[in-house]
Amino acid sequence: MASYAALAIRVKGQVQGVGFRPFIWQIAKELECLGEVLNDNHGVLIKLLCPVDADAFIEVMQQRLPPLAAIDEIAVSEAYFSTLPTDFLITASQAGVTNTRVAPDSATCDACLTELFDTTDRRYQYPFINCTHCGPRFSIIKSVPYDRKATTMAPFALCDDCQQEYQHPANRRFHAQPNACPECGPKLQFVDSGGSVTAEEDEALTAAAQALAQGRIVAIKALGGFHLAVDASNAQAVERLRERKQRPSKPFALMVANAAQACNLAQVNTAQEDALTSQAAPIVLLTARQRSGLAPGVAPGQHRVGVMLPSNPLQHCLLSRLNTPLVMTSGNASGRPPCITNEQALKELADIADDWLLHNRDINNRVDDSIVQHNGERVQVIRRARGYVPTPISLPSGFEAANGVLAFGADLKNTFCLLKDGAALLSPHLGDLADADLFNSYQENIGYFSQLYDFTAQLGCCDAHPGYLSHAFAQKHGYPVEAIQHHHAHLAACLVDNDKALNHEPVFALVLDGIGWGDDSSEHDFWGAEILFGNYHQCQRLGGLSPMPLLGGDKAAKEPWRNLLVYLDVYVENWEQSSSSLPISLLQTKPLTLLRSALTSKINCPQSSSCGRLFDAAAALLTDCFEWQSFEGEAAMALESLAWQALPSAAELKLELELEFDQRLAMKRLWQALVGCSSSKAERALGFHRNLANLLLGMLLDKAGDRRGDVVLSGGVMQNRLLHELLVSGASQLGFNVLVHSDIPANDGGLAVGQAVIAWANVSTEVQTSASEYNHD
């Protein structure tokens, strides 16, 4: 049999369903190569007839990578052809080949945008335009392989024109599974409050734009779920949305047409602009400008606003017809998960929305808007969902064999995580599992992810908190389940985020949290701000904030004043007389005798070193957030916003080190400064952040002695950008190498990754141990 020498280039990564093969076809044509390209179980295989300069080919490939593609690994080996190729072909996939990776949903690409606004294009103003470089992916997929019939595009048969595009390798829509046009694709409907369709297709868009311009609340179907939209410059409309959604103060996200408009509302630096215009198109938290024209009710009491650009053509069409930023908040009734079906939206949002902009392409997987913030040039993902999921999180060296681990995550801000083939597959942000509907979708999502990735759990892991719903649920599956300490999981997630290897030596960590169930090493069960020393395999608590009672258990997390009372009673003598400020007099109207007797008798007053509650206490004193928080983190965010007012410029953010090694004294000083001092509230709020940073660093240094090296900063409190920057600055000055979060949330949304890698580390140690024992024989 004849044999013709060839080189095989194997490419692994996100290379399927993203226009990779036609892209290779184009390079091959350009470089005049002969051979073939095909998808297989491992990714993409390229075979080039010799003689060929494979290095040059690879260089071009890497330089011009399609927007949605990502290469993890390239390997070149020798191969041969049994018949002499005369062309370069895209060979059909072999039967049984599974697409190994599903791409995330991606914002409309520039080429599609140009067509969208080109009056001569057949897709002019067509709200479902997409191509291999953009459009829906994860949100519409039902099963693998990623093929049109396995998506919610299945009911739409391609018209001849679309079919032509789909078939031709040179076309941008070659194998673009959601390819569609006005002829054959999904269509819009505008539904009024009476439930009847009053406009369709382009007229539906016009009707929606008009409704919004009139200040009406419109429920709009987006990529991964519904939004509720109103004109963000219309104060009355925004107030009405707040009332109907029973959402008194939680900031609303905004959507503007483009980056230039974002600059009108807020300060946008280059890194932030990059994030806004990225394929993921997340909500970016930006420092708001004065007199931006926004209604005051958009983000009351906050110095930042969350802004995003349109992430689908429907939103582009809508925004282009309006001259105003829109509030784009998630389309859910109070306390419920966002709607994804038309039926849900019509029913559950009936008391909120005035009108509905619907379409007939189903959303199969709910993915909320992602949220990111910036610290300098660094992007930090706070909520990881649309645009990021389900891109695997690559694991550091040593985890190559990681497999079969299912981490059930935390109960609030829940995500779960699978370890498969050396990567971490983190679910989209789901939410609080105490919600019954959400808990059901948690179970469904775990099943769905397992099916999608052909995953069978061999080892489960969950948070150690015995009262977590996820903890109880994890035990019900038959495989062994490891309980992982909460703070250790935060530490490990940060190590992964910094690509630290499986055998990395123990590092210091400041994990600042609301609460996380501790281990036996402390007398209090509920850990908060802790100093740890550990790696994937082990973790030791060196110290932490002194525990304080959570007055009323979970009530303490809802009502900031409870924490103020607890801290004042301990750290400020005669606080009743110490100040005439409003919060102090308000506090005295509470049934103090009853509350203090509950504290003394320890009735529902568990001890916790919570950092979140310390923030709540200070916020109760200095901000309007005294009585109760309408959303998690409200008090702490208000305190941070207040502190920023005292900073002339963010560039000045350097911590003056004033370390106090006696925690009691440091805390006393902190509280006396908060209560007694005559400076402005903003200055006191800033002082609180500075004092706290110094206190924490003092505690760290006390434990670290002469040792330096890495220090991890993690936990939900690290979302506080001010405290985070002060700690980064201070720890660096002290000679530590600071490890912070970027792609994996520092809050409980990243916890599942940490749980999973710890569980795997424990298993792989057992394997090693038993192997070494075996060697002794």
Partner 1 sequence: MTGTKITLAHGSGGLAMQQLIKDLFVKYFNNPHLSLMEDQAQLSLASFSNSTDKLAFATDSFVIDPITFNGGDIGKLAVCGTVNDLAVGGAIPKYLSAGFIIEEGLDLATLELIVKSMAQQAERAGVSIVTGDTKVVHKGACDKLFINTSGIGVIPENRCLGVSQVQAGDKVLVNGTLGDHATAILQARGELALSGDISSDCAALNELTELMQVAGKVHAMRDATRGGVAAVCNEISESSQLSICLKETQLPIHQEVRAVSEMLGLDPLLMANEGKLVAFVAAENADAVLAAMQSHPLGKQAACIGEVSDATTPQVVVEGLYGTHRQLQMPVGEQLPRIC
Helix spans in 101-200 (H):
110-116, 160-167
Choose the binding region for Fe ion from 178-186, 425-433, 492-500, 740-748 (rule: CB under 5 A): 740-748
Asked if residue 429 lies in contact with residue 385, where contact means CB atoms within 8 angstroms, the answer is: yes
CA 56 to chain centre: 38
Token digits for 68?
């949605």
Q: Residue 443: which of Fe ion, partner 1, Zn ion, none does it interact with, CB under 5 to 8 A by kind? A: partner 1
Choose the binding region for Fe ion from 87-95, 617-625, 723-731, 745-753 (rule: CB under 5 A): 745-753
Token digits for 143?
């099963």
Distance CA 483, CA 519 (A): 11
Distance CA 154, CA 137 (A): 13
Tell me: does residue 467 bind partner 1 (CB under 8 A): yes
- Measured from the CB atom, is 150 or 598 closer to partner 1? 598
Choose the binding region for partner 1 from 281-289, 392-400, 509-517, 723-731 (rule: CB under 8 A): 509-517
Tell me: does residue 514 bind partner 1 (CB under 8 A): yes
Choose the binding region for partner 1 from 26-34, 92-100, 468-476, 681-689 (rule: CB under 8 A): 468-476
Please pick, from the candidates 157, 603, 677, 767, the single residue that binds partner 1 as defined by CB under 8 A: 603
- Measured from the CB atom, is 354 or 463 closer to Fe ion? 463
CB of residue 516 to Fe ion, shortest distance in Å: 5
Instruction: Give residues with Cβ within 8 angstroms of 488, minimum separation 6.
Output: 532, 534, 539, 754, 758
- Measured from the CB atom, is 612 or 730 closer to partner 1? 612
Give 234's strand partners.
none
How many residues touch partner 1 under the rule CB under 8 A: the total is 55
Please pick, from the candidates 513, 525, 559, 634, the single residue that binds Fe ion as defined by CB under 5 A: 513
Q: Residue 668: which of partner 1, Zn ion, Fe ion, none does it interact with, CB under 5 to 8 A by kind? A: none
- Measured from the CB atom, is 134 or 696 closer to Zn ion? 134
Catalytic residue among 10, 21, 323, 342: 21
CB of residue 65 to partner 1, shortest distance in Å: 39
CB of residue 16 to Zn ion, shortest distance in Å: 17
375 counts as catalytic: no
Alpha carbon distances (Å) from 548 to 567, 607, 673, 720, 757? 8, 5, 20, 22, 32
Binding site for Zn ion (CB under 5 A): 109, 112, 131, 133-134, 159, 162, 181, 183-184
Name the phi and psi angles at 371, rounded to 5.
-130, 130
Distance CA 197, CA 210 (A): 15
Q: Residue 558: which of Zn ion, partner 1, Fe ion, none does it interact with, CB under 5 to 8 A by kind? A: partner 1
CB of residue 559 to partner 1, shortest distance in Å: 9
Catalytic residue among 39, 234, 403, 498: 39
Residues 536-575 that bind partner 1 (CB under 8 A): 550-558
**Among residues 743, 749, 750, which one has the least CA distance to residue 379?**
743
Tell me: does residue 376 bind partner 1 (CB under 8 A): no
**Cα angle value 477/420/474 (rounded, 5°):** 20
Distance CA 185, CA 163 (A): 12
CB of residue 111 to Zn ion, shortest distance in Å: 5
- Measured from the CB atom, is 28 or 484 closer to Fe ion? 484
Tell me: does residue 346 bind partner 1 (CB under 8 A): no
- Measured from the CB atom, is 27 or 109 closer to Zn ion? 109
Tell me: does residue 475 bind partner 1 (CB under 8 A): no
CB of residue 631 to Fe ion, shortest distance in Å: 17
Tell me: does residue 608 bind partner 1 (CB under 8 A): yes
Residues 570-599 that bind partner 1 (CB under 8 A): 591, 593-598
Give 60's strand partners.
none
Asked if residue 592 lies in contact with residue 555, where contact means CB atoms within 8 angstroms, the answer is: no
Q: Residue 244: which of Zn ion, partner 1, Fe ion, none does it interact with, CB under 5 to 8 A by kind? A: none
Tell me: does residue 411 bind Fe ion (CB under 5 A): no
CB of residue 561 to partner 1, shortest distance in Å: 12
- Measured from the CB atom, is 516 or 518 closer to Fe ion? 516
DSSP secondary structure letters along 30-82: HTT--EEEEEETTEEEEEEESS--HHHHHHHHHHT--TT-EEEEEEEEEEEES
Residues 708-747 that bind partner 1 (CB under 8 A): 716
Asked if residue 345 lies in contact with residue 204, where contact means CB atoms within 8 angstroms, the answer is: no
Neighbours of 683 (CB within 10 A): 17
Tell me: does residue 632 bind Fe ion (CB under 5 A): no
Distance CA 266, CA 305 (A): 8
Instruction: Give residues with Cβ within 8 angstroms of 196, minimum separation 6.
Output: none
- Measured from the CB atom, is 527 or 567 closer to Fe ion? 527
Token digits for 672?
């006396």
Instruction: Give residues with Cβ within 8 angstroms of 476, minimum separation 6.
Output: none
Sheet with 405-407, strands from edge to edge, namely 393-394, 423-426, 417-420, 405-407, 459-463, 481-484
21 counts as catalytic: yes
CB of residue 698 to Zn ion, shortest distance in Å: 53
Choose the binding region for partner 1 from 1-9, 225-233, 511-519, 674-682 (rule: CB under 8 A): 511-519
Contacts of the segment 578-582: beta carbons below 8 A, 24+ positions apart: 578/675, 578/676, 579/675, 579/676, 581/621
CB of residue 240 to partner 1, shortest distance in Å: 17
CB of residue 548 to Fe ion, shortest distance in Å: 18
Tell me: does residue 231 bind Fe ion (CB under 5 A): no
Q: Residue 451: which of Zn ion, Fe ion, partner 1, none does it interact with, CB under 5 to 8 A by kind? A: none
Residues 713-732 that bind Fe ion (CB under 5 A): 716
Neighbours of 120 (CB within 10 A): 6
Distance CA 619, CA 256 (A): 32
Please pick, from the candidates 115, 525, 710, 748, the single residue that binds Fe ion as defined by CB under 5 A: 748
- The CA dihedral of 117, 121, 125, 129, to the nearest 10 degrees, is -100
CB of residue 180 to partner 1, shortest distance in Å: 34
Alpha carbon distances (Å) from 486 to 514, 527, 532, 752? 11, 9, 12, 10
Residues 221-250 that bind partner 1 (CB under 8 A): 246
- Measured from the CB atom, is 411 or 660 closer to partner 1? 411
**Among residues 492, 210, 464, which one has the least CA distance to residue 354?**
210
Tell me: does residue 434 bind partner 1 (CB under 8 A): yes
Burial pattern 571-588, b for ≥16 Cβ within 10 A else e, equals bbeebeeebeeebbeebe
Choose the binding region for partner 1 from 70-78, 274-282, 507-515, 761-769 (rule: CB under 8 A): 507-515
CB of residue 716 to Fe ion, shortest distance in Å: 5
**Among residues 79, 85, 61, which one has the least CA distance to residue 11?**
61
So which residues are the catalytic ones?
21, 39
Q: Which residues would be at the binding site for Fe ion (CB under 5 A)?
A: 513, 516, 716, 748
Q: Which residues would be at the binding site for partner 1 (CB under 8 A)?
A: 246, 333-336, 410-413, 433-437, 439-440, 443, 465-469, 472, 513-516, 525-526, 550-558, 591, 593-598, 600-601, 603-604, 606, 608, 612, 632, 716, 748
